Amino acid sequence: MMGSLLSVSDIKDDVKYILDLAGKIKAGEIEEKPLKDKTLAMIFQKSSTRTRVSFDVGMYQLGGRAIFLSSNDLQMGRGEPIYDTAKVLSRFVDGIMIRAIKHSDVEELAEHADVPVISGLTDYEHPCQALADMLTVKEHLGDWTGKKICFVGDGNNVCNSLLLIAPLLGMDMSVACPKGYEPDDEILKTANEYADENNTEITVTDDIGVALEKVDVVYTDVWVSMGDEAEAAQREKDFAPFQVNSDLMGLANPGAIFMHCLPAIRGQEVTAEVIDGPQSVIFDEAENRMHAQKAVLYYYMKD
């Protein structure tokens, strides 16, 4: 199908279908090599471990191939208009995945491309991560409906995508963050609309105790994302009370799982005791990037 995945909202009506497809793909229940002879261009303006390897291997396992393109490999890095890059690549490949600095660049690329564009991360959202996260939640908790996830820390791109996907799947969500680090206002507005439609609840607070009430999933991310390095000292000070440690995990429901999109800094946003402990599912979560993204590739690129 034509269309692009820049935001969780782009798949609002098909989130459950894609996650169900991801489960079937992981279980080996789809036809072999469904993307045979298909090619995915992968544009990376930001470095990556999970995004690059999971998309590359995922395309291979689906029968296609992926081409890695860094900023140094593209004329776009030397000033070629995004319009021209979109039109040229569309003549060569069947889909484009881009991990970009600015969300607006990805929107412009998708506007002018004649093939599907998939966001591998921007400063605004990370939809593929959210899909992988929710696949992991279902595997460990059995279902989404009636569960609650709490994001602790910076209201960043990962938090934004989780806010959109959680209510679509029947989950409540809370965000525990210091004042001044709340999620994007437009994202919150849309998330609350989705919550109203699905009888779920969104809460944003700087009170960790309130945020962790009856929580089944505790999620955190680095305090200093790529591009925020100049604010590192201030961020570390502001986020110190929001470190996910054993005491904080004790506020969640018994049996709650811990999640982190990685990379992580042990001793900063999370203690080693938690991230390497029995409640942590971070490596299942990382593996599920590939399975979720294979479902996305199938959804957008299968004839």
Note if 52 is an active site residue. no
Note if 261 is an active site residue. yes
Note if 99 is an active site residue. yes
Contact 286, 53 (CB under 8 A): no
Q: How far apart are CA 37 and CA 278, in angstroms?
A: 42
Q: Which of 221, 235, 260, 293 is catalytic?
A: 221
Note if 235 is an active site residue. no
> How do residues 85-126 score in pLDDT, each as one tens digit?
999 999 999 999 999 999 999 999 999 999 999 999 999 999
Residue 225 pLDDT: 77
Note if 112 is an active site residue. no
Fold of 8-126+288-301: Rossmann fold (3.40.50)
Q: Do domains 8-126+288-301 and 128-285 have the same CATH topology?
A: yes
Contact 155, 161 (CB under 8 A): no
Q: How confident is the model at residue 63 (pLDDT cuts 50, 70, 90)?
A: very high
Note if 65 is an active site residue. no
Q: Which of 10, 50, 52, 99 is catalytic?
A: 99
**Does the pLDDT of residue 33 top 70, yes or no?**
yes
Q: Which of 261, 279, 291, 293 is catalytic?
A: 261
Q: Which of 50, 52, 260, 289 is catalytic?
A: 289
Global pTM reads: 0.97
Q: Domain spans of the chain?
A: 8-126+288-301, 128-285
Q: Which CATH superfamily is domain 128-285 in?
A: Aspartate/ornithine carbamoyltransferase (3.40.50.1370)
Residue 229 pLDDT: 81
Q: Which of 129, 243, 279, 293 is catalytic?
A: 129
Q: Which of 45, 56, 123, 126 is catalytic?
A: 126
